[in-house]
Amino acid sequence: MSDTTSNQMWGGRFAAGPDAIMEAINASIGFDQRMAAQDISGSRAHAAMLAAQGIISDSDADAIREGLLTVLSEIEAGTFTFSAALEDIHMNVEARLKEVIGEPAGRLHTGRSRNDQVATDFKLWVRDQLDAADAGLIALIRALLDQAEAGSDWVMPGFTHLQTAQPVTWGHHMMAYVEMFGRDLSRVRDARARMNESPLGAAALAGTSFPIDRGMTAQALGFDRPAANSLDAVSDRDFALEFLSTASICAMHLSRFAEELVIWSSAQFRFVSLSDRFSTGSSIMPQKKNPDAAELIRAKVGRIFGANTALMMVMKGLPLAYSKDMQEDKEQVFDAADNWMLALAAMEGMVKDMTANRDSLAAAAGSGFSTATDLADWLVRVLGMPFREAHHITGSLVALAEGKGCDLPDLSLADMQSVHGEITADVFDVLGVENSVNSRTSYGGTAPAQVRAQIARWRRTLG
């Protein structure tokens, strides 16, 4: 390709030539301005430490800290002018600080580098997102607990392969998601504890010769301790990857639940009604009420998974310590965080607003030979039959009922005895779905008493 052709290809977009291309690929201010508050917090803590250590004067430190608050207020008010020529949030803030306070601004960067500065800012931002996810998960779990408590003894079909398997309770099904989101909450808290080490003071990669106090800045910023290795501190993005991994697993749980809500709210199931706040209509079919919020939650997982994979690919080949490749970490995390928080909030809203249709749930619970396992268990327990033989006899009874166009409880005693003569009328006590769920009293089972016990345990856990 000739230079002329090349220039034509990029010339319309980059009228100033190669310098403009370099500025565009190098600048991150278009997205890392989201870390302005964290950047200013880190700089204020750093300035206070420099003064405490006698590295800069108290008057310079005071001017820096007050000037940074002025810059932050301008950013929050939307009056701050960001410049791509200054590359990133750090240089934009420092340049404006110099305009505000003059010469003391030049002392702020003593004993640190943009490498440890960006690692600190990014950690603080991710930590804030983990705290937001913590709150969002607790709100969702509470909404599920309310649903579970309201329907702790409502029968519904339990499925395997999306085929009717055994009766369960609505409360039990809701509590399954409480356990899933509870593990997500645990992962959020584990990730937060593990990442809570301060990179600030690691400088470019080797530390600094200035007598800084990394413990002071770590404490001021709410970190548990300074990171112990300066090379690792500036090149670590495990915290971002763990954030994305945790978000991905939680998004998968959200997507599974969203899929069930899409199915359950359909005219074919009618298990739940979603509120108008989380549904839309059709532009052409007036009868439609579409579960769009659930469908969009189901789709969000693709973006979050994609962010996780993308950052893994960015990091996988990087030698120590910092490389400019790592600038590609933030957009992935920002997008994933936005979509995770939105999905959590939308799911909480849907769960709080949705109405379970008890009659439809109960009707479906009794269909599809859902109490076949109860029949097999009765044959084992009462007649002392080996389970494999009981399984075979139950299968024959299911086939008989299917041929008659009825369910197991609708067979007569004579019908049952035609398959096995020792069956008694007592068998009908276990064939009702209510009896079935009430009998599942093993720990973690679907019996209403077990469901209520798990609800109480979770309410105690959440406080």
Residues acting as catalytic residues: 161, 282
What count of Cα atoms within 13 Å lies in the side-chain half-sphere of residue 393?
A: 23
Query: Tokens 């964290």 correspond to what residue?
Result: 38
Cα 70 to Cα 100: distance, rounded to the nearest angstrom: 8
Composition of the chain by helix, strand, coil, percent to 5:
70, 5, 25
Instruction: Decide: helix, strand or coil at residue 213.
Output: coil
* Structure-block tokens of residue 179: 């356990």
Q: In the numeric block, which tokens belong to residue 36?
A: 């302005």
Q: What is the DSSP string of 262-331?
A: HHHTSTTT--EE--GGG-B--SS-TT--B-HHHHHHHHHHHHHHHHHHHHHHHHTTPPSS--GGGGGGHH
Q: Do the beta carbons of residue 71 and residue 93 sit within 8 Å?
A: yes
Torsion of CA 341, 346, 161, 379, to 10 degrees: 110
Does residue 321 have a cis peptide bond before it, meaning omega lies within 30 degrees of 0?
yes
Burial 232-254 (b: 16+ CB within 10 A, else e): bbbbbbebbbbbbbbbbbbbebb
Asked whether the beta carbons of 282 and 314 are under 8 A apart, the reply is no
Q: Return the H-helix or E-strand segment holding 112.
A: none
The answer to whether residues 64 and 43 touch, using CB atoms and an 8 Å cutoff, is yes
Q: Is 258 exposed, middle or buried (0-12, 13-18, 19+ CB in 10 A)?
A: buried
Residues contacting 330, CB < 8 A, separation 6+: 28, 31, 32, 34, 35, 122
Structure tokens at 233: 């501190």
